[in-house]
């Protein structure tokens, strides 16, 4: 299974995430371990293996989010493991330059001085979200209930004293089980995983050289992006259409690349939003999601078809006084839960466009004004898709 396949499956995670490793960062394992760097890498790789097997289920996951689509080119920036007195202020300055707000998941053990507490207060005052990342960055899936409670509560108090109102939690390494997730939700926390993994902790590792994510350290990065963190992030964002992006504000390499990453996202049409944005992440924030447009949704103009598939935006195919949403295809189309199955056919005899198959979800095409049930052939184009036909909703 490729890393891109796993990311899509985690897609509430669609996907997934974070020194040299220990000093490098997501520390928290026993420093007396014979090889703590490898232990941390093993923890991250195992968390990804677990999520690959979870098949996108967010109910017991520390990585998969309940919102898995409908991001409409919106990205939420999140940073783990700070605050760092040297690097976090630089992150704040870059975010300010992009008029963006971030969510900072704090390890309570790192808040050791008045300077740290003042930095947290500054983050809150500037409108950023401070979230709970536990006190000691342990693998919380492996601790007892008492330890879990103390890990949550200690950092909760740190954030409250800084003026925060913590309601978002991220599990170290994304490692969690049903009992841990339930305990967090019982305390009023929303568990925040990620859809886009910068893997910045791996790019910061000395293995293979800083700026290179060695497969021996973290295998869940496409080989073509081993030396290109900017490309790694942008490729995932295009594949998911947006979502929650994972960074760590404790790596100089992350800070050195952050402006380039945000610029690339903005130039590609992405908007930066906080995780509290209910339009982008309604389920995470306990809201009822608005009905999202998809192939076959009635429309009047392209703006009514605000969805993205593999970096290509939806468009409105108009006929007479009516129209429906579609997007280009070459043999096959994607489907979306709760929407009619789609089919790749031609609307002009030359190119492929996705249309909705007739189904109960569109009242056998009656729910798409001006269309009727029509038997249509698949547009194969340059794909290897076999010839096929289907009953679809096309203009009368």
Indicate the pairing of strand 190-191 with strand 168-169.
Answer: parallel
Q: Report the pLDDT value the prediction gives residue 52, as an integer from 0 to 100.
A: 61
Nearest CA to 262 out of 279, 226, 237 is that of 237
* C-alpha separations of 217 from 25, 41, 330 in Å: 14, 6, 37
Q: What is the pLDDT of residue 51?
A: 60
Taking the CA atoms of 38, 193, 246 and 313 in sequence, report the sign of the dihedral they define.
positive
> pLDDT confidence of 38, banded at 50, 70, 90?
confident
Q: Which of 145, 139, 158 is CA-nearest to residue 26?
A: 139
Residue 257: both structure tokens together: 């690349």
How many other CB atoms are found less than 10 A from the CB of residue 395? 17
Please state whether beta strands 129-132 and 308-309 pair in parallel, antiparallel, or not at all (unpaired).
unpaired
Helices (runs of H) and strands (runs of E) counted in the chain: 10, 17
Computed over every residue of the chain, the mean pLDDT equals 87
For position 46, what pLDDT does the model report?
A: 75
CA distances from 271 to 13, 237, 265, 266, 278 (A): 19, 11, 8, 6, 14
128 in Cβ contact with 119 (< 8 Å): no
pLDDT band at 307 (very low <50, low <70, confident <90, very high): confident
Q: Count CB atoms within 10 A of the CB of residue 186.
A: 8
**DSSP 3-state of 326:** strand
Whats the size of the chain, residue-wise? 396
Q: Indicate the DSSP class of residue 147.
A: H
CA distances from 322 to 68, 316, 347, 395, 396 (A): 30, 10, 15, 9, 11
Predicted local distance difference test score (pLDDT) of residue 350: 93
Domains and CATH numbers, the chain: 3-273 (3.20.20.370), 302-395 (no CATH)
Instruction: Tell me what the mean pLDDT of segment 285-302 comes to.
Output: 88
The confidence score (pLDDT) of residue 289 equals 67
Tell me if the bond preceding 83 is cis, omega within 30° of 0: yes
* Residue 54 pLDDT grade (very low, low, confident, very high; cuts 50, 70, 90): low
Residue 36 has pLDDT above 80, yes or no: no
For residue 335 the two structure tokens come to: 């489907």
Selected residue with higher pLDDT from 14 and 257: 257
- Mean pLDDT lowest for which of 7-21, 56-70, 172-186, 296-310? 7-21
Question: What is the C-alpha to C-alpha distance for residues 151 and 145, in angstroms, rounded to an integer?
Answer: 10
Contact 58, 223 (CB under 8 A): no
**Percent of the chain with pLDDT strictly greater than 70:** 88
Backbone angles phi, psi at 320, to 5 degrees: 60, -130
Query: So what's the pLDDT on residue 55?
Result: 52
pLDDT surpassing 90 at residue 107: yes
Q: Average pLDDT for residues 18-30, to the nearest whole number?
A: 33
Torsions phi, psi of 197, nearest 5? -110, 110
Residue 209 predicted with pLDDT over 70: yes
Banded pLDDT at 206 (limits 50, 70, 90) = confident
Surface-to-core class of residue 53, CB atoms within 10 Å of its CB (0-12 exposed, 13-18 middle, 19+ buried):
exposed
Residues 324-344: tens digit of each pLDDT:
999 999 999 988 767 899 999
pTM of the model: 0.69
Q: Is the pLDDT of residue 390 over 90?
A: yes
pLDDT one-digit tens code per residue, 232-280: 999 999 999 999 999 999 999 999 999 999 999 999 999 999 999 999 9
């Amino acid at each position: 299974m490729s890393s891109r396949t796993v990311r899509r499956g985690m897609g509430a995670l669609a996907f997934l995430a974070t020194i040299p490793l220990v000093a490098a960062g997501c520390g928290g394992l026993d420093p007396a371990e014979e090889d703590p760097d490898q232990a941390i890498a093993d923890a991250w790789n195992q968390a990804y293996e677990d999520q690959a097997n979870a098949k996108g289920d967010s109910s017991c996951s520390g990585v998969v989010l309940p919102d898995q689509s409908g991001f409409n080119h919106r990205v939420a920036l999140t940073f783990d493991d700070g605050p760092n007195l040297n690097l976090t202020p630089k992150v704040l300055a870059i975010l300010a330059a992009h008029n963006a707000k971030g969510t900072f998941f704090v390890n309570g053990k790192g808040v050791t001085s008045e300077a740290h507490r003042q930095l947290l207060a500054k983050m809150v005052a500037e409108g950023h979200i401070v979230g709970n990342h536990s006190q000691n960055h342990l693998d919380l899936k492996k601790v007892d209930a008492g330890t879990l409670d103390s890990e949550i509560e200690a950092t909760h108090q740190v954030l409250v004293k800084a003026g925060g109102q913590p309601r978002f939690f991220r599990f170290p390494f994304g490692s969690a089980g049903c009992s841990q997730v339930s305990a967090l939700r019982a305390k009023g926390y929303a568990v925040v995983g990620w859809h886009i993994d910068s893997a910045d902790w791996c790019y910061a590792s000395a293995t293979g050289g800083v700026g290179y994510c060695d497969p021996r350290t973290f295998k869940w990065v496409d080989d073509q992006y081993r030396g290109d963190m900017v490309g790694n992030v942008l490729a995932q964002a295009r594949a998911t259409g947006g979502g929650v992006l994972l960074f760590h504000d404790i790596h100089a390499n992350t800070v050195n690349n952050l402006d380039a990453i945000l610029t690339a996202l903005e130039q590609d049409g992405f908007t930066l939003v906080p995780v509290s944005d209910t339009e982008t992440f309604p389920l995470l924030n306990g809201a009822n999601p608005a009905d999202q447009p998809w192939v076959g949704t009635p429309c009047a103009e392209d703006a009514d078809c605000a969805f993205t598939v593999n970096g290509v935006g939806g468009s409105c195919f108009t006929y007479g006084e009516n129209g429906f949403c579609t997007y280009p295809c070459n043999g096959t189309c994607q489907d979306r839960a709760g929407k009619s199955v789609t089919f790749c056919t031609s609307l002009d005899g030359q190119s492929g466009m996705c249309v909705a198959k007739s189904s109960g979800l569109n009242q056998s095409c009656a729910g798409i004004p001006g269309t009727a049930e029509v038997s249509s052939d698949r547009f194969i184009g340059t794909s290897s898709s076999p010839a096929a036909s289907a009953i679809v909703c096309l203009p009368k």
